[in-house]
A and B are shown apart, each in its own frame.
Chain A
Amino acid sequence: MRTNSRNNTSSRQRITRRNILLSGAAAAALSGASAEEAPPGGEAASGTPPVPWAEATQAEYPPGEPGKDYNPVFTPNGSTAPYKIRDGVKVFHLVAEPIVHTPVEGLTIRTWGFNGGTPGPTIEVVQGDRVRIYVTNKLPAETTVHWHGILLPCGMDGVAGLTQPVIRPGETYRYDFIFSEHGTFMYHPHFDGMTQEGMGLTGMIVVHPRSRDIPRPDRDFAIMLHEWFIEGGTARPNALEMTDFNILTMNGAAFPDTHPLVAELGDRVRIRIGNLSAMDHHPIHLHGYYFKIVETDGGPIPPGAQWPETTVLVHVGSARAIELTADNPGDWLMHCHMTHHTMNQMGHNSPNMVGVEVGELEQRIKKLLPDYMTMGTRGMRPLQEMNMPVPDNSVPMLGFKGQFGQTVLGSMVTVLKVRETWPHYSDPGPYVFPSGSVACTATERELRSDGITVDWTDFEPASASGRQDMG
């Protein structure tokens, strides 16, 4: 069994990783050799566990240092986990606890997270780093932490009941292992996942490669995707919800409060996206670019096999890394292309009003309900414009007032801002469009000279009946 596993799954992986771990030259010879090599017998490997991280355990790398060994990743709306170094071991402390969180202004929720936030802090290490992660449980429930995608001894896998006893409230557990592979991974509890992952106990893990041969990106971003059902007017996510999610977040934030991803013209940009949504995969689409999907949480994709895309589908429980060169300046929307996932809290219990002509009935309803306005006849439109009051602690269908007017977007949306000069990760403000480069109304002359005629005969502008139509 162990033998098979070595041969079937790890051989392919080992080829790739050996290239990286050792020198590039020896890689070919070694890869060829290992394919035919018979695996060592169990008893011959006494004391040496015949497992994938064996080489890494023996290699004993020093703890990786930011700047020197890697360019630190930026977690928009989030943070990176601090650590101490004790005897060459990076020591982290995760505290699973109830938190108060604001995904978007106007909505504050009471939920669970790590170290005061959801997602928890990004654990950033370098391949080969030994870590000791202490996990304190301050939740009202038992928990564990599972290191998603990490190769480690089974006892550190973090599955309650199967690989370890639960961490009871008030207890602190210790996880010891070595990050043997580089890539993009995640961490989350493995006890009552529906509730605990649903409540926001999630986090990204970024393991930078040890080898200098792998080019480092100029900009490196980590984004955790998540989805919630928070009934309008409540302050508690309902993790029991299975289908009707109404707030979707990137790193726990919903548009327009998602911090933009900022790059300079010409930067090599890497964006790592993990998805711990309960039920939905997310096709993350980026405007203005095509990118290559360069990595999964199983490892890097060989260049020849890297898939070009404008939309990367991040399955539930997967991580993907994409890379692009930021050669197109502007403010580029990056968002889940499921249209319902770009809206904040909206109910699905109202009738379909699109295209309905209400006429003078509106006035008669106003007699019964003085503040009544018909809504939805023109689709979804932002209500903040009209100053319509909504229940406390709810953010229905927010919009963001861009420089050209309202966007009608929310939830799983962010912006990739590419600027000529901006050596920071902070928000550079709205893009200054070169004059003449923005789409605008066509003049009569233009239409005529291009032979465009518009037949307006059947057209009835929505405000023709003179009523105040909200939607």
Chain B
Amino acid sequence: MNRICTSLALFAAVLACFLGGCATVSMEEAFEPVKTGTAGRTGQTPEWRDVSATGATVDAAISEALEDGLTADEAVAIALTNNRRLQAVYAEVGIAEAQYVQAGLLKNPTLSGVLYYAPHDRKIWDFEVVTDFIHILMTPMRKQLAEAEREQVRLTVQSEVVGVVADVRRAYYQIQADQQMRELWETVLEATEAAFEMALHLREAGNIPQIAVMGERALFEDAKLRLAAAEAAVVADREHLNDLMGLWGDPASWTITERLPDIPEEAFDTAHIERRVLEQSFDLDAAYRSVETAARRYGIEQVTAVLPEVEVGMAFERERETETHLKKKEYLTETEYELEEERGPEVWWVGPALSLPIPIFDQGQARRALARAEIRQQWDRYTALAVELRTAARLAAYRLRTAREVALSHRDVIVPLRHRITQQTHLRYNGMFVGVFDLLRAKQAEIAAGQRYIESIHAYWMARTDVDQLLMGRALSPGQISPAGMAAGGPVAGGGGPGDGH
């Protein structure tokens, strides 16, 4: 008996090691594929501070980057290492890794036992050791499922990282555009101020009526408010970027000194954009994994729907055998009979134990149907995402081409034309055909043209970021590509990415 027990125990241990392994969860290793995957797409490497023990070096890098003006790449790098919401998303990788390891672990056998204290000083041991046989049987399939799920999580996280990269770039461009707009509003303010003061001088000399002065002042005060609004826009944009970069306090006082980049010499190649986007899409890959996991679940479900659990094990009982016989006891007058127990040796009873559900009412047909339906659902979602990506790709490419032409038209035609109009107005002013107010207003029209130009450059870079985001692997729904090319791109690390079925 003991030999049986010992060998069973040994067998169980070997099995455990063999199947489960001395599995450990290495977060750092789990994160590596995400690092390399996103680095390949975005040129930037995310750092999971909680596991990579690089916290101090990350902070040092941030301080250094903030010393001279913040560049777009620096902003992205800071966000990938310092945005806490994103760090929380990185943890998903660790969680998925743990789940993967968990899937490979065998369920522990259960020991249940009772010790009866019976009368007559008897002790009855009653215990059993069982293990879920189905669980063991399903382990390889479960591991495959977990691997697919882990891969899906990695893809989703990479997509989130791409989303943050794109959002940071958008926020950076927004700041640049609004700073440049603010500069021009300052010039507008100078022009309206000059006109107002000129009107004051004219009024002092008695040459114009009060109402003319009020008119110029109204324009001047309007310009002040426009400048204030422009300043407010810059402040809001900065805070948004600070939020994305996870900065506050002193480090949040960075400056951006560069202007919006010029429209590139060469037009961006949008040939075969749909295919390129589909090939690169993390979201689409993840959606495909959803289909895969649903299929694997179905595979598991085909067994576990009918037999969710089959417990197999050994039952043990240890009891002292007793013999009870009547003992005659003779007394003087009477005879008493007493039950007397004779204690025998303690004996082990051992036998297999089995428990399983009997599929009378529920043969698991519903659960299997559910699993099949889920496969179909994931497949449709996958297809829908593909269509959405195609549409988004076409639209983003179109908007990019258009934005480029518009910006070049501003640069090459409209702004120089407005400049020449100012020059011609100056000639007419010299000839005294028009007065100084007309001249200042022509200048303001030129500045307004400059503002439209900046807006068009900004729109170009927003459109470009949309295309880049799609090609880096994160989806944009067509509705997110606004006419101005300023895409929302989805919130950071909060979902909004499609196909997030787990």
Q: How far is the CB of B427 from chain A (nearest CB, A)?
A: 4
Q: Please determine whether B433 and A388 come into contact, CB atoms closer than 8 angstroms.
A: no
> Would you call A318 an interface residue if the criterion is a C-beta within 8 Å of the partner chain's C-beta atoms?
no
Q: Please determine whether B194 and A350 come into contact, CB atoms closer than 8 angstroms.
A: no
> Would you call A66 an interface residue if the criterion is a C-beta within 8 Å of the partner chain's C-beta atoms?
no
> Would you call A365 an interface residue if the criterion is a C-beta within 8 Å of the partner chain's C-beta atoms?
yes
The CA of A394 and the CA of B434, in the complex, are separated in Å by 14
The CA of A449 and the CA of B262, in the complex, are separated in Å by 77
Residues from chain B with Cβ under 8 Å of A396 in the complex: 430-433
Q: How far is the CB of B227 from chain A (nearest CB, A)?
A: 15
Secondary structure type dominating chain A contacts: loop
Residues from chain A with Cβ under 8 Å of B427 in the complex: 233, 389-391
Residues from chain B with Cβ under 8 Å of A231 in the complex: 433
Size bin of chain A's contact surface: 35 or more
Q: Please determine whether B205 and A376 come into contact, CB atoms closer than 8 angstroms.
A: no
Q: Please determine whether B433 and A232 come into contact, CB atoms closer than 8 angstroms.
A: yes
Q: Please determine whether B431 and A357 come into contact, CB atoms closer than 8 angstroms.
A: no
The CA of A349 and the CA of B441, in the complex, are separated in Å by 14
Q: Please determine whether B432 and A365 come into contact, CB atoms closer than 8 angstroms.
A: no
Q: Please determine whether A357 and B204 come into contact, CB atoms closer than 8 angstroms.
A: yes
Chain A 364-404, CB-CB to B under 8 Å as 1, else 0, gives 11011101101110001001000011110010110000000
Which listed segment binds A: B195-203, B273-281, B461-469? B195-203
| Closest residue of B by beta carbon distance from A392 | B427
The CA of A341 and the CA of B197, in the complex, are separated in Å by 33
> Would you call A347 an interface residue if the criterion is a C-beta within 8 Å of the partner chain's C-beta atoms?
yes
Q: How far is the CB of B432 from chain A (nearest CB, A)?
A: 5
Q: Please determine whether A352 and B191 come into contact, CB atoms closer than 8 angstroms.
A: no
Task: Choose from B206, B426, B436 the contact partner of A350 (Cβ within 8 Å).
Answer: B436
> Would you call B335 an interface residue if the criterion is a C-beta within 8 Å of the partner chain's C-beta atoms?
no
Task: Choose from B191, B201, B426, B440 the contact partner of A371 (Cβ within 8 Å).
Answer: B426
The CA of A374 and the CA of B201, in the complex, are separated in Å by 12
The CA of A390 and the CA of B423, in the complex, are separated in Å by 10
Q: Please determine whether B439 and A369 come into contact, CB atoms closer than 8 angstroms.
A: yes
Q: Please determine whether B431 and A352 come into contact, CB atoms closer than 8 angstroms.
A: no
> Would you call B443 an interface residue if the criterion is a C-beta within 8 Å of the partner chain's C-beta atoms?
yes
The CA of A371 and the CA of B424, in the complex, are separated in Å by 12
Q: Please determine whether A351 and B435 come into contact, CB atoms closer than 8 angstroms.
A: yes
The CA of A353 and the CA of B432, in the complex, are separated in Å by 11
Task: Choose from A350, A364, A371 the contact partner of B432 (Cβ within 8 Å).
Answer: A350
> Would you call A82 an interface residue if the criterion is a C-beta within 8 Å of the partner chain's C-beta atoms?
no
Task: Choose from B193, B194, B202, B430 the contact partner of A390 (Cβ within 8 Å).
Answer: B430
Q: Please determine whether B204 and A368 come into contact, CB atoms closer than 8 angstroms.
A: no
Q: Please determine whether B207 and A232 come into contact, CB atoms closer than 8 angstroms.
A: no
Q: Please determine whether B208 and A352 come into contact, CB atoms closer than 8 angstroms.
A: yes
Residues from chain B with Cβ under 8 Å of A367 in the complex: 190
Residues from chain B with Cβ under 8 Å of A390 in the complex: 427-428, 430-431
> Would you call B500 an interface residue if the criterion is a C-beta within 8 Å of the partner chain's C-beta atoms?
no
Chain A 270-297, CB-CB to B under 8 Å as 1, else 0, gives 0000000000000000000000000000
| Closest residue of B by beta carbon distance from A354 | B207
Given A232-B428, A350-B434, A369-B426, A355 and B440 contact (CB-CB distance below 8 Å) = no
> Would you call B133 an interface residue if the criterion is a C-beta within 8 Å of the partner chain's C-beta atoms?
no
> Would you call B92 an interface residue if the criterion is a C-beta within 8 Å of the partner chain's C-beta atoms?
no
Q: Please determine whether A357 and B205 come into contact, CB atoms closer than 8 angstroms.
A: yes
> Would you call A359 an interface residue if the criterion is a C-beta within 8 Å of the partner chain's C-beta atoms?
yes
The CA of A369 and the CA of B191, in the complex, are separated in Å by 10
The CA of A351 and the CA of B216, in the complex, are separated in Å by 13
Q: Please determine whether A351 and B207 come into contact, CB atoms closer than 8 angstroms.
A: yes
Residues from chain A with Cβ under 8 Å of B202 in the complex: 351-353, 356
Chain A residues packing against B (C-beta within 8 Å): 231-233, 345-347, 349-359, 361, 364-365, 367-369, 371-372, 374-376, 380, 383, 388-391, 394, 396-397
Chain B residues packing against A (C-beta within 8 Å): 187, 190-191, 193-194, 197-198, 201-202, 204-208, 422, 424, 426-440, 443
